[in-house]
Structure formats: structure tokens, C-alpha cells
Structure 1
Amino acid sequence: MEKRFIKAEDLFELKSVTDPQFSPDGKKCVFVQTEMLEKKNDYASNLYIIDIKDGGKPKQWTYGENRNHSPRWSPDGTKVAFVSNRSGKNQIFVLDAAGGEAKQVTDFRNGANGPVWSPDGKRIACSVSLKPDEDLLAKDEEKKDDKKLEPFVAQEMKYKSDGAGFWDGKYRQTVIVDLADGKAELVAKGEVDYHLQCWSPDGKSLVLSADESPERDLSFKSDLWLMDIQTGNKTKLTNGTGYFGNAVFSPDGKYLGYTGHEREFENATLTQVWVQELETGNIQCVTENMDILVGDAVAADFHQGANSPGLIWGEDSESFYFLATDQGNTVLYFANLAGEVYPALLDQQHVYGYTLDGKNQRIVTAISNPVLPGELFQLEVTTGEVKQLTFVNEKVLESVTLSQPEQISFEASDGTPLNGWIMKPAGYEEGKKYPLILEIHGGPHAMYANSYFNEFQVLAAEGYVVLYINPRGSHGYGQQFVNAVRGDYGGGDYQDVMDAVDHALEKYDFIDKDRLGVTGGSYGGFMTNWIVGHTDRFKAAVTQRSISNWISFYGVSDIGYYFTEWQIQADLSDLEKLWKHSPLAYVDKINTPLLILHSEKDYRCPIEQAEQLFIALKRQGKETKFIRFPESNHELSRSGKPNLRLSRLASIVDWFNSYL
């Protein structure tokens, strides 16, 4: 078959596989498959099941053009609980593993999420959102949702959130549903968000994460609490200064493992693995000697609904596995209480989900790499053998040509080691010169990786060299590296990306130095704005969901007042410093044609950041265009409406095609 270059429209053919879950006996694995629906302009997620013992192709388990996700096996392996919006709002459903229709087990006023089985399989705990005076169940007349418009009153600084909108007075609470009679009991309630973590093996307690500080506008911690289900009494397990979650009991109930950090460097602090002995209260930081982030901080644009777990215990209650963001890869690690920590699956790839069959020493992993959007693989722990289980994107991949990037390493001007990738055009020919596009990730505390990035492949298919690196401030290279950007936006980080371009031009003679472009989103949008205000070396730029003015960002972003203090290390009492680090201050020096892309409902980097930049540029007669995406938030490029995701990609390509 003659292959073609990939197109933006191929997103409708690509499928995402996530959240694998082994059955308790290790014979089956259920997972979530998500795809785009072109006609409905939406997404559909369904459960699929693989027979691990007997092999064979995955079988579809749920059907419909809605969202079915978060599958969790009952302890005896006879049922699977999951979340579905098939009845309107997210509710909990249960499927019999032997077959048949799913049974809806919740019908709560505001929906339900995050099912957690009791050890005896007779009850399910889940999370709901409620106002302090709201009943769990809605009356029939209230289900119509035809309320009149009312003014919104804000009394807290944390009154809005990107993707969720304005805070409606609801708190996250915990409910336990008895499967025999359907009765539901609200067990963790109050004017606090209680995040359900796990159920104790003896069935008597739940672990919750919550911030019970009286001044939560200025508190950014999350403690773990052990709650006695019968009495409602809670015992604080952590010390009240850090941010902890992903808690899970060892099978014997002696230990609680969790992830988190003590906030030494605010949101730049590396997450660690902690194990607490419940009887003594002794806490051990298992990863204290590992200078990498526990968890998955990869910046990508494809994996829908990826939900990587914290740690997963082995059957012996002495060992466990976890993921870590490690120098351009997400690596699956093994550890035990004796202090051993080493990679269980080390390769140039992005592991974005996994599940463990402790009895048979097998792991099913969700893996992506630059030319593989994502599939499930089985790892035999004892032999190291890896076997591919799903081939959901095989048909598309057999018909298109993708570009395999080359990993690069070099030193910044100050000697700092840097890491990145260069992707040749999909139709690369020796002797030809090609334009280059520099891509900059958001965060800034995130990491480009050996993972599939659809935008990069589309640009490569259009004839561009794509350069992307992890500048200082990125995760994956240690605490000092990730912290280095704080208070220095536009300093060392700017020099890093400029050094990357210099390195690429020096090493690769197929790059046309007179046809350079730059783009990025969020922090990457800030850096794009900063770059074009400080150099004319780029002939075109596209800034996305960007920051242009730290002074106004402080008050308009959902994270503005604390993010600005943590990252720029200034507040509104130091306008000079905020303005010094604001790209808008250098707008008179911008000569590069600049396309501005922004979502109307972006509360993380609000659209007024783009409006200011656009008006300032137009007023000075600079070459610019402003495209606004309706009903979209900060996540447009990853999970926005499919037609708008394609429109965004087309706008980027058209702009660079016009100037490069």
C-alpha cells in the first residue's frame, strides 16, 4: 500500500486507549477506548475487555455515543463498576462480568464519579458534588433544570476554575451505596472538598484527602485523613504542610502508600512516594534519593481520559510499582520497603497507564512513542518479555508516513545540559533545505517526551522541521532544574530555547536559517510572546492561550494571585517586576508576524491576555491576526470540540505556510 502524509483530519480515525484494569484473578483486563465522532462533533468512550489468559482480540463491552469510563473490578471479579453519562449526568453503573445490561446504581442530583468497591463487594463508595443544604437526590420537578438566570456572587478568591467555570457553591463529598437495597449514605460531608482515595482492607475506614484549613483561599495543601465509616471520626495522617493524594492500602492493611510533597518549592516541588505504617505512624519517603518527579508530567495532545495511577502494591504488601517522569520518558519503576528502587520497564517511551496482576507477575501498560499514538502492552515481570495486546490504530498507521524524531543533547550557554528532539519533514529528501518550527511546551513544569504528538506530526507532514526541547523549568531533570525558572521568566529559559535553535542550525544543514517559526501554548505562549519581543530571527510566530501581562493576569486568572507569586516571585506591590517580565512591555520591539489563538472560556490564561496583545500590536501597525474559539477553555488543543481542534491546527499551518 502506498502511504500518504498524515492530515489533521486523521484525528477522527485515531483512537485512544487508557485506564487498563486487571481482573482480580489476572485472567482479564478491561480498558477504555475513546474516539472522535465527526457528525456529533464530540467524543465517545466505551469499555473493552481482553482475555489475557486465552489471548484473542479485545471485545467491546459497552456501546453508544456517550462517555463510559473509570472501570473498577469488584473484589471477587464478578462485576465491574464504571461511570457513564448515558442518563444525562455522570452516574455509577455496574456490569456483570458474565454479560447482560449495565445496571445504574446511582441517580444523584448532581451525578457521581470515582467508584471504589468495599472489600466485601457489597457497597460502592463514590464522589458527589453538593451544596451544604442540598439533598443527595433531586425531586422530579427539579430535574428539568429550567432555572432563571441569577447574578453570581463571589466571596472567595478561588471562585472560578478553568473547565468548570464559576464555583456554584458545591463541595465534593463522599457517598456509600449499598448494592442490595440501593440506599445511599453521605459519609463525608461539610463545607470542605473531600476527595475519596481508598477503602481499608478491613472495610471499616475510608481514606480521604482534604484541606480543612479555615482560610483556603491562601492554603494550598492537601492532607490525608483516615475516616471511621461507622462513627465519622477522622484522623489526620499527614502533617498539615504538604500536598498528598493517590493513597492506597497495602493488601494486608499494615501500610498506606501515597504520593505528594512538602511544597518546599511550591508547585515546582518534586512529587515523591511515601509509605506510612498505620500502627506506628512511621512515614518513609521511598524516593527521597531519586531526583525525579513521581507521576506523569508529559506534555502531549492525544491521550483522551488518561488516568495514570499513583502506586500499585504487590501481593506481598512489601513491594509496589509507580511511574516517574524521567529525562524525556515516563518510566515504570519497582520499589520495596527495603529501599530498593529500579526501573521495571525502561525504554524510550511514554507509559501513561498501567495495572498489575500480582498473582502472576504481569503488568498491562498503556504506552505511546513518537510514532505510536498509544496501545496496550503486556509485560512479563519475571522474563521482561513485552507483548502488544491492542492494535486500535493499526489501520491508520499502515496508511500514513510518520516522522521519527531524533533525540538531541547539548549544552546551554551557561553549561547547563539540555535535552530535546528534532523531527524531520515526513517527506524528507537529502540536499533540500526546510523551514523549522520551534515548539515550546506549557507548564512550565511539564516535559516533552518520547510520546506521540499529533500537532508535530501534522507540521512535519506539511514539510517542516520541528524542534522541541525541555528548557529549564521542565520536569524530568531534577529539582534544581525545574526550580530554575522561578523568578527568572524570560531569562535562562529564553536562552535555552535560543541555544537549541543555534545548536540545530549548526548541526543540521537541511534547516533553512532564514525560514524559522515559533509557537507554544500557555507558558509556551508566554515564551513565544517573549521571544518575538526580544529577537527578529523568526519570520512567523503563533501564540496560543498565552500570557502577555502579569499585572492583569494576577487578578483575572483562576490561579493568578498565587501562581504569579510562586513563579514570578512578585505580587501587586511590585508592579515594576511584574511589568519587567511581561511580554506586553516589549510590544514595540515585535516585528515578527504574530497569529494569536485563544479560547473564549479560558480561565487559566484568560482571553484578555490575548486582547491586550492584539490591540497593542494593531495600534502600532504590526502584522497580526486574532482568532477566538467559542465555548472552549484552556484544554482546546487536547480535549476541545473536534471541529475546533481541527480549525486550530489548520490556522497554525496556514499561518506558517504564508510566511515561511
Structure 2
Amino acid sequence: MIEMTTPGEDLYVGGIFQKEKIASFSPDRTHFIIVLKRGDLADNAVHYEIRLFDAAAAMKANGGTIILERDSSTNRPALEQVKWADNDTLTFIARGSRERSAVYSMDIYTRTLKPLAQSDGNIYSYAIDADKRIITFLAQQKSDNTLTAEEQHEGVDISTQSLFGLLTNRYHFDEDFFADLYVRSLVTGKGRRIVAIGRILAWQPLALSPDGKHLVVETYISHDLPPIWNHYLDPMLLSQLNVVRHDTSQLFVGEFLLVDLKTGSSRPLLNSPTPMGVQPDVLWSPDSKSVALAGIFLPLDASNQISDEVRRRTKFVAEVSIESGKVSPISTEAVELLKWEKGSDRLFTRKGRWEAGDVDAGADIVFSKHNAEWHVDSSVCAEMERSSSVSVTLKQGMNEPPKVIATDTETGLRHVVLDLNPQFQRLEFGRVEDLGHINNRDIPVDAGIYLPVGYVSGKKYPLIIQTHGWDPEQFWIDGPFTTAAAAQVFAGHGFVVAQVAQNRNDKNTLPNIREEAANYDALIDILVRRGMVDESRIGIIGFSVTGWGVKYALTHSRYHFAAATLADPSDGGYFKYLALLNSFPAMGNILERINGGLPVGDGIQKWIATGLGFGVERITTPLRLETNAPESLFSNWETFTLLQRLNSPVDFVLIPDGDHVLIKPWNRLASQGGNVDWFRFWLQGYADPNPEKTRQYHRWEGLCSLQRSTSKELPSQCIEATHNRLH
């Protein structure tokens, strides 16, 4: 599972699936490249490679040619944002040891590398103009964490610093996920930092005009918000706009910024915030005079637009003139911007969705501009690959491992260009089935199941519920994310595994957290009626935002869970609220929404009633907690300490150098392998005889004895595992 070869670009992280983007074609479409990655457990590194293919020979090619290989032993990719600069040259971010990174160009024929920009820390994003004269890039901020002489003498004034920063002596650092903007001449080699308005989020894409004079980038606002913005009807946005904060640097409201690279000046491109939970798209006109934006809010006019319900609640595609600032609406259709045709006002797009992580592609749509107005041009066939005789896609399914397929666009003939994991032919996987809708509410939620290898109809199996996504069109050997999930491994050990799609409602409310937990009950109902699962052996895994729903289910479900895991979860507890309130007031606002207000006076009773923080005494399930970095300890600390004080069975694992979505092979093994051991111990009565795991099982045997002495639920499986290991 960890050493499986997968697409190497970030757009595939988290289960995102863009089958048309597995290959990147050169401008003349004579060649294409594919970026791949795989874990290496022996070296605890992730191996990256770029494979080059001749498009004319694609219908006969097999595997391509590896033209560059790099390994990363950090949480950042070794190769990232690989792009064609011209028909012969690639550009990309490459990392060496200790997070040092650079932007390089490489000739695909000579394999010669040329550094274009370097940084002592991470480079997160970059853009190069059409004539290859200018490069702009985002680099890790240089932080001064030392005390000033005045602070050493008089003490540190506490205001908006994070508690974690204060505890670790990082007094004067901004959050690690913000970056500095740089511009550098590729002709003279001279460069400088540009101090833009607001704070730029690391990994933010940079949209550089073709002439290299202007840049559009999304920033977090550091100025006072226009009061008119409160009229937008976006619940997540309003939760940020109305947060009580100490200064504007704590805002997490975005806007698009226009940067003049010659003068270094910047200004807002639009008088509107970017919608929350959306990944807006940016595309420059070929003449660099205007920019198209997709997935944005249009500005409201104080005189007549406040009552405009469409603008207040609807996301748009629009054109913005750089010189005049005029905004020309194009469409309200959710599309991805593909190409602005040179010499004409024709905009090629592909229908899809704007929500982050949801990129299902649809039909191509072309918009044309006449008399300063845009409309759909039905006379134009938007075949973006009409200049090529071959198309390349990633083909996979829930029971079909991924393969790269080349298709002759004239004959329709298909050829397997690359089997990403031929070793899977030697393995037997559990059969995967799509259950479809598992509830009857207004917003249906889908799920799927992995049957155990050698499944026997009528036999009742232990059940594991993975709660962070489901897609019947993808081959998920583990799950949409690598943290804690291990679907096919569980299936190989005799479990039924269920994966549940996430509720599309705003999760930052208690009703939707309850609905999430109700979906788990509905899923179990279906599997119990089918006679597939043993009700006494049900386990559940919560990760990230589904931690709320799983924690609620542990105290309110109609079923008793025999074991559970909360891996780097969102937490609604009182301790996390206090730890983040001053430095991250938006999180405080979210927790107040969920728990019913401020936790003071009568409001504390509402917090107690939710069971998301207080009320852990109602958790009778052996619980594994995972935290993937020290700064995330606040999310599990309250649950851990209270359960430990109550003598309840709780296991807590800190992965000190992990990421939220685990990347390093050893970290993945600790989480994913650890969960396989955890649920086999509690649900199957199995203990791995590997002597390297003795300490782990010694801890769990103690928890088993604790559960035996304090719970009416007899943990027969863990008792059996302890007996087998000791004898």
C-alpha cells in the first residue's frame, strides 16, 4: 500500500481525480510527460520520477523514458509543479535535503538542469512569463524567533501569539503556512522581494501575465473589511467576517490582488472576497490586458446591488480589465478555465465544480465576446486536443488498479501506455461494491464496501468504517487519504470495510455533525440487514473534519463501537477553544457555532450537552488517538487526559514529524499499520507476534484489563489476543 505507485502531482492528493490531467503535453503536442511517486520503506523516502513519451508513438509505447528522478525524505515533494516552458524545456520545483529548494529548467533531450530561482527554505509556487524573462515565486518566510533586548529585560507582552509558539520559544514568527513573494529577472539575475498587501498563503498559485508585467494572486486580507461584504450569503464566509478578533492579521478572508511587478505596488483586483471552500481559477488574456476569474463573488454596489440576490449568493465567471477595473460577467456555470484563444475573444472552459476537492470534469464550453458581452458560443466545438491524434487519460475503478491509457482520437483504438502497479497482478484484493445512497435526507450521502478476501455470503464479519470519502470511480487501496486508512489491508485480514462520502453541508454546525453520525448508523443498519457484519465487532476511524462526527457517534450512536480511532481530528473541546482563541479567533468562532455560544455562564451547559468536549465519560469504546505534529496536540489533549483520568482505555500516539495527510513511509506505517494492529486486537483477538511490537501490545493489554474491570462490554477479543501472545 505504501509503496504503490501513484500520480505525483498535488492535484491527486486527498482522492482528487482528474483523469484527463495525468499527462502534460508539450505546446506542439509532440511529447507528453507523466510525474509519478512511490514510497520506499527501506529508506523512509518518497521516490519521484518524470517519464517522457513520444506522442506519435504513444499507441505502441510502454512505460516511456525516465528523464529525472529525485527522492524526498521530508513532508514536501521532491518534484513539484512540473510544466512545459517550450517544446524542449520543462520547469519544476525540486527539493534537496533539509527543505532547501529551487526552481529548475531542464532540456528534455540533454537532461541539462539550470537553476532559475533558489531559496534556503521551501519554494511553494512559481510562474514564468511567455518570453521567459521574469520568474515570480513564493518562498518560505524568514522568521526571527529571538527575544528583543527589551523583551528579555521587561518580559513578553502576550496578545495574539499562539500558545504553541510561546511554549516553543517561537515569539516572532508568522504562521508557517504564509509565504513571501519574490520576482527575479532571468536575464540579469537580479531579484527582490515584493511586499504585497495582505498575507499570501503558501502553495497559492501565481497567475503571471504573458508580458510579465502584472501578477494576480489570492491573499488573506490585512485591512479593515468593507461593511458591504457582510451582505454576501455565504455561511462560512460570514463566520469569518463576524469573528471577534484583536487585529486584522487574524483574518482568514481572501481577496484577489493585482501586483505591478515593475513598481512593486499592489491593489485589490475586485471589491469582493473570495468564497470560502472554493478554489478559484485565474486565466490571463493573451494581450495581458484583462484576466478571467472563475468561482468568484462579483462586487456589490452600495447604491443598488445589496438587494441583488444573485450576486449575494452566486459564484461567477467574469472578466476584469486591468486598466479600468471594469468587471464583465461571463457565466454562473461552474467551469475550469482552459484556454483564452490568441487573436480572438474566445474562452475555452470545461464544466465541473468549484468546491475544493471536487473536480468531476464535464463537457467543454466555449464563451465568445461580442460588443463587450460574453455568451456561450454553440457554433464552436471545444475540442482542446484537436491538434493531436492521441489523448491520454488515467483509467481506474473501484476494482481496477490505475493504468495510463492512450486513445487514437480518429479510430478510437486504445493502448495501455503504463501500468502503474503491475505487481498487483500477484495480489488478491477484496471485492469492492458501491452501495449508493445510504440515507433518505435532502442531501443524500453515498458509501461503498470492501468485502473480505474469500468472502462467504451469510457469514458475519467484523466491520471497519472509514469516514472521509467514497468514490466508486477510483481505486483506493487505503482510502482517499493516507492517514489511518487501510481499506484493502483490512479486507485482506477478514474485515468488511465501509467508506462513507462526506456530508456536503457546512460541517461547522451541530445539526450537521449529528447528521454525519446518523449516516454511520444508517450504514450499519444496511449491513446488519444484509447479514454481513457482527454487531458486537464494529470499529470506526475519524480523520480531520470527520473527527467531529465520529466523536459524536461514540456518545450517541444506537450501536456500540468495539474500538475507534480519532486521527489528527477536528475537535470541539473546551481546551482547544482556549488554546487557539487569541491567535486563531476564527476557530473560536467555529467552536462557538457548534457548541451554542460562549462557554461562560449558562452557555457552558450547551457545551456540556453537545458531548464534543465535555461528556467524554460517555465514551465506553477503547479509543486510539493520533496526532501528526506537536502543534496539533491541542486537538486530542482534552479527550486523552480526561479519559485517562477516568481510567478509560485510551491510547495516544504522537507522530512528531508528520503532516496532516501523512507522507513519509515510516509515518504512514505507524498510522496505517498501527490501526490495522489496533482493530485486529480489539475486534479479532489477534496480536502480531513480531517482537518489535511487544511494547505496543503490552500497552494494549493494560487497556484490555482496564476495560474488563470498568465496562459491562466484555472485551473478549482483546482477552483472547493477550492469551495467545503470552502463551
TM-score category by the smaller chain?
A: 0.7 to 0.9
Aligned to 1:350: none
Aligned to 1:186: 193
Within a 5 Å distance, the mapping from 1:344-383 to structure 2 comes to: 357=385, 359-360=387-388, 364-366=392-394, 369-372=397-400, 374-378=402-406
The one-letter code sitting in structure 1 at the alignment partner of 2:644 is K
User: Using the alignment, how far apart are the partners of 1:428 and 1:458 within structure 2?
Assistant: 14
User: Using the alignment, how far apart are the partners of 1:272 and 1:247 within structure 2?
Assistant: 14
Q: 1:592 to 1:193 in 2, by over 3 A?
A: closer
Matched, 1:200 2:209: yes
Aligned to 2:5: 14
Aligned to 2:518: 495
Within a 5 Å distance, the mapping from 1:342-421 to structure 2 comes to: 357=385, 359-360=387-388, 364-366=392-394, 369-372=397-400, 374-378=402-406, 388-393=416-421, 395-410=422-437, 412=439, 417-421=444-448
User: Using the alignment, how far apart are the partners of 2:25 and 2:598 within structure 1?
Assistant: 48
The one-letter code sitting in structure 2 at the alignment partner of 1:115 is Y
Within a 5 Å distance, the mapping from 1:548-587 to structure 2 comes to: 549-556=572-579, 560-565=587-592, 570-572=597-599, 574-587=603-616
Q: 2:318 aligns with which of 275, 279, 288?
A: 275
Matched, 1:427 2:454: yes
User: Using the alignment, how far apart are the partners of 2:42 and 2:359 within structure 1?
Assistant: 35
Structure having the higher helix fraction is 2
User: Using the alignment, how far apart are the partners of 1:407 and 1:511 within structure 2?
Assistant: 17
Q: 1:15 to 1:86 in 2, by over 3 A?
A: same
Q: Report the CA distance between 1:25 and its aligned residue.
A: 0.9
Matched, 1:258 2:258: no
Aligned-partner SS, 2:71: coil
User: Using the alignment, how far apart are the partners of 2:184 and 2:450 within structure 1?
Assistant: 51
Aligned length: 579
The one-letter code sitting in structure 1 at the alignment partner of 2:293 is Y
Structure having the higher strand fraction is 1
Q: 1:52 aligns with which of 37, 49, 55?
A: 55
Matched, 1:286 2:318: no
Q: 1:120 aligns with which of 120, 131, 146?
A: 131
Q: 1:386 to 1:38 in 2, by over 3 A?
A: same
User: Using the alignment, how far apart are the partners of 1:231 and 1:192 within structure 2?
Assistant: 19
Residues 164-187 of structure 1: CA deviation (Å, up to 9, x unaligned): 996734863333333333222434
Contact 1:36 1:44 in 2 (8 A): yes
Q: Report the CA distance between 1:60 and its aligned residue.
A: 1.2
Q: 1:98 aligns with which of 97, 109, 113?
A: 109
Q: Report the CA distance between 1:494 and its aligned residue.
A: 1.7
Contact 2:45 2:665 in 1 (8 A): yes
Q: Report the CA distance between 1:118 and its aligned residue.
A: 0.9
User: Using the alignment, how far apart are the partners of 2:400 and 2:594 within structure 1?
Assistant: 34
Contact 1:221 1:240 in 2 (8 A): no
Q: 1:314 to 1:451 in 2, by over 3 A?
A: farther
Aligned to 2:173: 168
Q: Report the CA distance between 1:415 and its aligned residue.
A: 6.4
Q: Report the CA distance between 1:91 and its aligned residue.
A: 0.9
Q: Report the CA distance between 1:585 and its aligned residue.
A: 2.8
Aligned-partner SS, 2:511: coil
Q: 1:42 aligns with which of 33, 41, 45?
A: 45
Contact 1:24 1:77 in 2 (8 A): yes
User: Using the alignment, how far apart are the partners of 1:185 and 1:361 within structure 2?
Assistant: 44
Aligned to 1:459: 490
TM score, norm. by length of structure 2 = 0.70
Contact 2:566 2:626 in 1 (8 A): yes
Contact 1:405 1:423 in 2 (8 A): yes
User: Using the alignment, how far apart are the partners of 2:158 and 2:405 within structure 1?
Assistant: 48
User: Using the alignment, how far apart are the partners of 1:155 and 1:372 within structure 2?
Assistant: 54
Aligned to 1:478: none
Aligned to 2:372: none
Between structure 1 and structure 2, the one with the greater Rg is 2
Q: Which of the pair has the greater relative contact order for Cα pairs under 8 Å at 6+ separation?
A: 1
User: Using the alignment, how far apart are the partners of 1:285 and 1:470 within structure 2?
Assistant: 32
Q: Report the CA distance between 1:107 and its aligned residue.
A: 3.2
Contact 1:413 1:499 in 2 (8 A): no
Residues 345-394 of structure 1: CA deviation (Å, up to 9, x unaligned): 9xxxxxxxxx965743866445654345645445677888765433221x
Contact 2:269 2:325 in 1 (8 A): no
Aligned to 1:512: 534
Residues 370-426 of structure 1: CA deviation (Å, up to 9, x unaligned): 345645445677888765433221x22211122342222346365653321122112
Aligned-partner SS, 1:324: coil
The one-letter code sitting in structure 2 at the alignment partner of 1:209 is E
Q: Report the CA distance between 1:502 and its aligned residue.
A: 0.8
Q: Report the CA distance between 1:501 and its aligned residue.
A: 1.3
The one-letter code sitting in structure 1 at the alignment partner of 2:80 is H
User: Using the alignment, how far apart are the partners of 2:614 and 2:256 within structure 1?
Assistant: 44
Deviates more, 1:221-230 or 1:273-282: 273-282
Contact 2:470 2:499 in 1 (8 A): no
Q: Report the CA distance between 1:465 and its aligned residue.
A: 0.9
Q: 1:108 aligns with which of 103, 119, 138?
A: 119
Aligned to 1:541: 564
Contact 1:440 1:468 in 2 (8 A): yes
Residues 257-309 of structure 1: CA deviation (Å, up to 9, x unaligned): 33445599xxxx99956231427723436345x6xxx7xxxxxxxxxxxxxxx
Q: 1:429 to 1:312 in 2, by over 3 A?
A: same
The one-letter code sitting in structure 2 at the alignment partner of 1:614 is F
Aligned to 1:304: none
User: Using the alignment, how far apart are the partners of 2:142 and 2:384 within structure 1?
Assistant: 38
User: Using the alignment, how far apart are the partners of 2:198 and 2:438 within structure 1?
Assistant: 51
User: Using the alignment, how far apart are the partners of 1:271 and 1:70 within structure 2?
Assistant: 31
Aligned to 1:469: 500
The one-letter code sitting in structure 1 at the alignment partner of 2:552 is W
Aligned to 1:352: none
Residues 87-136 of structure 1: CA deviation (Å, up to 9, x unaligned): 751111111233232112223344534231211123322222445999xx
Contact 1:174 1:196 in 2 (8 A): no
Deviates more, 1:582-591 or 1:647-656: 582-591
Residues 474-510 of structure 1: CA deviation (Å, up to 9, x unaligned): 3xxxxxxx2376242542222222112112222x223
Q: 1:414 to 1:108 in 2, by over 3 A?
A: closer
User: Using the alignment, how far apart are the partners of 2:401 and 2:292 within structure 1?
Assistant: 31
User: Using the alignment, how far apart are the partners of 1:36 and 1:85 within structure 2?
Assistant: 16
User: Using the alignment, how far apart are the partners of 1:463 and 1:366 within structure 2?
Assistant: 30
Structure 1 residue runs without a partner (length 5+): 1-9, 135-149, 295-309, 346-354, 475-481
Structure 2 residue runs without a partner (length 5+): 10-21, 73-77, 146-151, 224-246, 301-311, 368-374, 479-485, 684-727
The one-letter code sitting in structure 2 at the alignment partner of 1:119 is A
The one-letter code sitting in structure 1 at the alignment partner of 2:366 is N
Aligned-partner SS, 2:38: strand
